[in-house]
Amino acid sequence: MPKFTRRQILAGAGAVILTPGLGRAAADIPVLEARLGRMQLVPGDGPETEIWGYGGEVPGPIIRVPQGARIQRRLVNSLPQPTAVHWHGLRINNAMDGVPGLTQDAVPPGAGFDYDFVAKDAGTYWYHSHNQSTEQVARGLYGLLIVDEPQQPDLDHDIVVVVDDWRLTEDDAIADDFNQAHDWSHAGRLGNYIQVRQFPDLATLKQNQRLRLRFVNTATDRIMQIGLQGLDGHVVAYDGMPLQVPEPAGPFILAPAQRVDMIVDVVAAEGEPARLLFVDRGQTYILSEWEVTGQQSLARRGMVAALAANPIAVLNDVSTTRKVPLVMTGGAMGGLQQAVYKGVEMTTEQLIENGQIWAFNGVAGMPDVPLAVVGLGETIRIPITNDTVFPHAMHIHGTHFQEVLADGGLGPHRDTILLAPNETREIALLADNPGDWLFHCHMLSHQAAGMRTWIRVEA
Ligand code: C2O
Ligand code: CU
C-alpha cells in the first residue's frame, strides 16, 4: 500500500480534478501536487519566499523505495502553467519519462497525470519539472528520489546533500527574470544565494562515524565545486550508478543534475570541524559545518566496499562501434552564423528573435529527426565536440552512458557529463530501453536556447 502523508491527503482531497482523458482513476495513487508555497528559504528572520514546489515545498517529498519497487504518483497541477515530471536518471518506460512534446503532453493547470514505473536501479536520483524548466525548476519544482540497495552498507548516517543556487531579490523573492538573453547566451541563469540542505539535518557528528553523503546539484545552471574537511573516504557512485571500485574522495565538481555518492568517515576529532566546503573562483567558503562531539569508536571502520552493481550492462570493447558525432556551437562569442530552427534556415538575428542561440549539428532546438535511430541492443558512440567557449553538462534520458577514455577504456556509468569549453569527449551507450529519449544540455538556460536533440531506440 502506498503511504500518504497528512499533507498529501489534504492536498489530494482538495485539488484532484481528473481530466476526462486521465482514465483508470485508481483511488490509491499518492498525489504529487505541484503548487505554490511559502518557505523560509534564507535562514534568519527575513521574509519567506514564495516558491513553486511539489507538495508546496522545496525540495518536494523525498520518494524513497527499495530497489525493484513500483513507484506511482499522480501529478496534480495546481500551478498557473502546464507542467510535467521527469524522473532524472531512472531507466523507466518511455511513456513515463515526463518530456512534453516527446513522451507526453504537458499537463494543463487543474489537470493530472499518473506516473507509474519500476525503480530497477538503486541509487541517488531526483525528479523535476521538464516544462518551462528554466522557470519551473528555478522556482523550486524538484524533489529527491532514493532507491535503496537490498544490502545496505554499514553506516551511522545516510545523508542527502542538496546544493542549489537561487537568484533572489532584495526581499528574498525569486527573481522572475527567467528568460534573459544574456543568461541564455552565456553561462546560464546564475543565482546569488548558494543553498545547501541536508536530509537528515544533523547538528553533531562523532569521530569515526561512517556517513553516506549523497550530493545532488539541483541548480538550473551553476557548476558547483565542493570539498570536504574532517571527512575522509571514497566515492561509491556517480549519477546513481555504483563504481566497480570506489575512488578516494577529494574535492569534486558537480555539474547541474549530477550526483555523487560518497562513503566517508568522520576523521575530525572532538572540537575540530567537519565541513562541506564550496570553492568559487579560487576562494573557499564553508558550505555547512557539523560539530564533532565525542567518539563513535576508537578506530575507523575498515575499507569501503563497492555497492552491489545495478542491472545495467557494462561495455567493454567499443572499437568497432558506430559513431554518431555531435557538435555543439553557438552562445556568446561563439560565432554562430546560422542554424536551422523549426525546419527553417535562420541567421543569428532571426535565431535570437526566436530565443535560440545554441545549436547541435547546426540545428537549434528540437530537430524533426533524431540524432540517431538505434536498434534495441545496439551500442553507439557519440563524440561530443564542444565548439563553444562555455562548459556544458550533457544529459541523456532513459539510460546511462560510459565515457570512452583516451586510452580506449571506458569510464563509469553516468547520465550527465560535463564538457569544458572547446573540449571533445566521447560517450558510448548501449540502447537498452526502447523509445524516444531526450539528449540535452542540463544547463537549463542552454536547453531552452537550443541545446536539445533526441535519440530513438527502436524496439
Ligand atoms: Cu534532469 Cu532532461 O533532465
Ligand atoms: Cu550548456
Which whole number is the average pLDDT over 229-235? 98
Is 128 touching ligand 1 by the criterion CB < 6 Å? Answer: yes
Q: Which ligand is the nearest neighbour of the Cα of 257?
A: 1
- Please, which pLDDT band fits residue 336 given cuts at 50, 70 and 90? confident
Q: Which ligand is the nearest neighbour of the Cα of 449?
A: 2
Q: What span, in angstroms and rounded, lies between the C-alpha atoms of 228 and 249?
A: 9
Ligand 2 centroid to Cα of residue 389, in Å, is 10
Ligand 1 centroid to Cα of residue 130, in Å, is 7
Is 88 touching ligand 1 by the criterion CB < 6 Å? Answer: yes
Ligand 1 centroid to Cα of residue 231, in Å, is 31
Q: What is the pLDDT of residue 17?
A: 40
Contact 151, 62 (CB under 8 A): no
SS (H, E, C) the chain: CCCCCHHHHHHHHHHCCCCHHHCCCCCCCCEEEEEEEEECCCCCCCCCEEEEEECCECCCCCEEEECCCEEEEEEEECCCCCECEEEECCCCCHHHCCCECCCECCECCCCEEEEEEECCCCEEEEEEECCCHHHHCCCCCEEEEEEECCCCCCCCEEEEEEEEEECECCCCCECCCCCCHHHHHCCCCCCCEEEEEEECCCCEEEECCEEEEEEEECCCCCCEEEEEECEEEEEEEECCEEEEEEEECCCEEECCCCEEEEEEEECCCCCCEEEEEEEECCEEEEEEEEEEEEECCCCCCCCCCCCCCCCCCCCCCCCCCEECCEEEEECCCCCCCEEEECCEEEEHHHHHHCCCCEEECCEECCCCCCCEEEECCCEEEEEEEECCCCCEEEEECCCCEEEECCCCCEEEEECEEEECCCCEEEEEEECCCCEEEEEEECCHHHHHCCCEEEEEEEC
Ligand 2 centroid to Cα of residue 75, in Å, is 28
Is 58 touching ligand 1 by the criterion CB < 6 Å? Answer: no
Is 452 touching ligand 1 by the criterion CB < 6 Å? Answer: no
Q: What is the pLDDT of residue 359?
A: 97
Ligand 1 centroid to Cα of residue 126, in Å, is 10
- The proportion of the chain whose per-residue pLDDT surpasses 90, expressed as a percent, equals 91
Q: What is the pLDDT of residue 27?
A: 66
Whether the per-residue pLDDT at 384 is higher than 50: the answer is yes
Which whole number is the average pLDDT over 96-111? 98
Is 446 touching ligand 1 by the criterion CB < 6 Å? Answer: no
Which ligand 1 atom sits closest to the C-alpha of 88? 1
| pLDDT tens per residue across span 128-146 | 999 999 999 999 999 999 9
| pLDDT tens per residue across span 34-78 | 999 999 999 999 999 999 999 999 999 999 999 999 999 999 999
- The proportion of the chain whose per-residue pLDDT surpasses 70, expressed as a percent, equals 94
Which whole number is the average pLDDT over 84-88? 98
Ligand 2 centroid to Cα of residue 449, in Å, is 9
Is 130 touching ligand 1 by the criterion CB < 6 Å? Answer: yes
Residue nearest to atom 1 of ligand 1 (CA): 88
Is 189 touching ligand 1 by the criterion CB < 6 Å? Answer: no
Q: What is the mean pLDDT of the chain?
A: 93
Whether the per-residue pLDDT at 12 is higher than 80: the answer is no
- Choice among 10-14, 355-359, 371-375, 448-452 with the minimum mean pLDDT: 10-14
Ligand 1 centroid to Cα of residue 446, in Å, is 12
Residue nearest to atom 3 of ligand 1 (CA): 88
Q: What is the pLDDT of residue 200?
A: 98
Which ligand 1 atom sits closest to the C-alpha of 257? 1
Whether the per-residue pLDDT at 120 is higher than 50: the answer is yes
Is 141 touching ligand 1 by the criterion CB < 6 Å? Answer: no
Ligand 2 centroid to Cα of residue 418, in Å, is 9
Q: What span, in angstroms and rounded, lies between the C-alpha atoms of 149 and 126?
A: 16
Whether the per-residue pLDDT at 11 is higher than 60: the answer is no
Q: What is the pLDDT of residue 14?
A: 31
Q: Which ligand is the nearest neighbour of the Cα of 416?
A: 1
